[in-house]
Amino acid sequence: MGYTKQLSNKKTDERGLSLLEVAAALYIVALIVMGVLLTSTTSALWISGARDQTVMSVYAASIIDVLDSNSLQLHEQLQTANPWIITDENITDAVFIFTLYDEVISLEAPEDIHTTITASRFDDSVYYDGISSEGIYEIGIGDNAEPILFYGNLMEVNVEMQWADGSCNYKLSAIVGAR
């Protein structure tokens, strides 16, 4: 009979993780947190830019709407000054005040936006061959033909904006008819 060494069946009560396992777990958690922070930071910048664009587009549309509502005054203004250019001189007061053919117009304005309005007469007769501003005879035939006159009542309006910090630019153009 040989001598056999018996291994001990003694159970160890070791609990916990080794330092290497803890370091690996912290590295994985750090990568996940950095990914989430990077995504949220980028999203915040996109959302901020979208807000800036929305504020500018709504403001520009309201300016064009006011000029459209006062199109006769704008038409008269362009008889004396073509092009007509107006700039918001005080961007910190939250109001844009300008005079349109002797009528003072006041608009609520977002602060810190440089705004310039340029309006000029728009002659669309140049887009049609053989048409002059005196008129054409296109409606009817022969003795029933009626002249179509171009009265020069179309106006091009451009609204250009820029945030004071230079972060965002915006331009909106429209053709407005005097009515």
Residues 7-48: pLDDT tens digits? 566 666 667 678 888 889 899 999 999 888 888 888 888 888
**Contact between residue 73 and residue 101 where contact means Cβ atoms under 8 Å apart:** yes
CA 25 from chain centre, in angstroms, equals 45
First to last CA, the chain: 121
- Which whole number is the average pLDDT over 110-127? 85
Structure tokens at 96: 């844009």
Tell me the residue range of the domain where 33 lies. Answer: 19-177
DSSP, collapsed to helix, strand or coil, labels residue 26 as helix
Q: How many domains does the chain have?
A: 1
DSSP, collapsed to helix, strand or coil, labels residue 165 as coil
Rounded to the nearest 5 degrees, what angle is found at the Cα of 86, between the Cα atoms of 80 and 92? 155
Does residue 148 fall inside a structural domain?
A: yes
Does residue 11 fall inside a structural domain?
A: no
Does residue 167 fall inside a structural domain?
A: yes
Count CA within 13 A, CB hemisphere, residue 26. 7
Distance between CA atoms of 158 and 80, rounded to whole angstroms? 18
Contacts of 55 (CB under 8 A, 6+ apart): 110, 113
DSSP, collapsed to helix, strand or coil, labels residue 137 as strand
Q: For residue 66, is pLDDT > 80?
A: yes
Whole-number percent of the chain with pLDDT over 90: 32
Does residue 5 fall inside a structural domain?
A: no
Does residue 145 fall inside a structural domain?
A: yes
Question: Crossing angle of helices 19-69/71-80, nearest 10°?
Answer: 80
CA nearest 72: which of 99, 100, 96?
100
- Which whole number is the average pLDDT over 92-112? 90
Does residue 136 fall inside a structural domain?
A: yes
Tell me, what DSSP letter sits at residue 82? S
Q: For residue 63, is pLDDT > 90?
A: yes
Model confidence, pTM? 0.67
Does residue 7 fall inside a structural domain?
A: no
